[in-house]
Structure 1
Amino acid sequence: MPAILEHTNFTVSDPAATAAWMEKLFGWHIRWQGDAMAGGHTVHVGTDDQYLALYTPGTPANEATSSYNRVAGLNHIAVVVDDLDGTEDAIKAHGFKTGNHANYEPGRRFYFHDDDGIEYEVVAYD
């Protein structure tokens, strides 16, 4: 059996706020939250089997360079949905701007950035 991705941990400015829009837009739930390393806080949000660990340190440092131009940068996070158009409508209603739409074999996709500048790909397979 191949390995299964259980979670990804990345840094955001406000884990609770990020988890809240993920719950609303992606239908996920908070699995756990609590104190984390370096005086930080973490929220685990996702499904029963997979999740994102949203971490904020006690004293955040702001890195302004593009993740696509540095080694070990997070370029984007992709989620698969059944209803691409409905999900895009909800994302726009939340105030995020979508773009970079594409049809490709075997599906369709678009991208958006959250308030922290993290890029998300939303894809639906035919």
Structure 2
Amino acid sequence: MPKGNLEHANISVTNPDRSAALLIDLLGWHERWKGDAMSGGHTIHVGTEHAYVALYTGPHVRGSFEKGNPLNHLGFVVDDLEAAEKVVVSHGLKPFGHDDYEPGRRFYFFDWDGIEFEVVNYE
């Protein structure tokens, strides 16, 4: 049976620079690439050497996406949940849904476009 891993996710945002700064600060990632998108618009790739999130915008991207239509949330594992929450707050966003159940502690937040993120720690 084949084995694999997630290489990237491509999401639409209204301000890729702002979203990239959040993910870089929150996860210790770096900018891998930025430039014009294939069908117009602009994209920034942020992540690690092995995986990334593509942050795309174009004239048709309006924001205010509805949760679960079709994406419920993106989840990230961090080594320090309290420090991660401080980063989210420093970017003007509001954490919620703090919980502690097996296998880890977590919180959620919505970004400026209504995209939900889960941040979890398994220690």
Separation in 2, partners of 1:15, 1:88? 21
Task: Please list, as runs of the form range in 1=range in 2, the aligned pairs for 1:26-37 lying within 5 A after superposition.
Answer: 26-37=27-38
- Structure 1 residue 23 displacement after superposition: 1.1
Counterpart AA for 1:111: Y
List runs of 5+ in structure 2 lacking aligned partners.
none
80, 89, 92: which is aligned to 1:92?
89
Normalised by the length of structure 1, the TM-score is 0.88
What is the aligned-residue RMSD (CA, Å)? 1.6
Q: Note if 1:120 corresponds to 2:117.
A: yes
* 2:73 aligned residue: 76
Q: Note if 1:42 corresponds to 2:43.
A: yes
Separation in 2, partners of 1:116, 1:99? 16
List runs of 5+ in structure 1 lacking aligned partners.
none
Which gives a bigger RCO, structure 1 or 2 (Cα 8 Å, sep 6+)? 2
Separation in 1, partners of 2:79, 2:40? 38
Number of equivalent positions: 122
* 1:21 aligned residue: 22
Higher helix share goes to which structure? 1
The percent identity for this pair of structures is 51
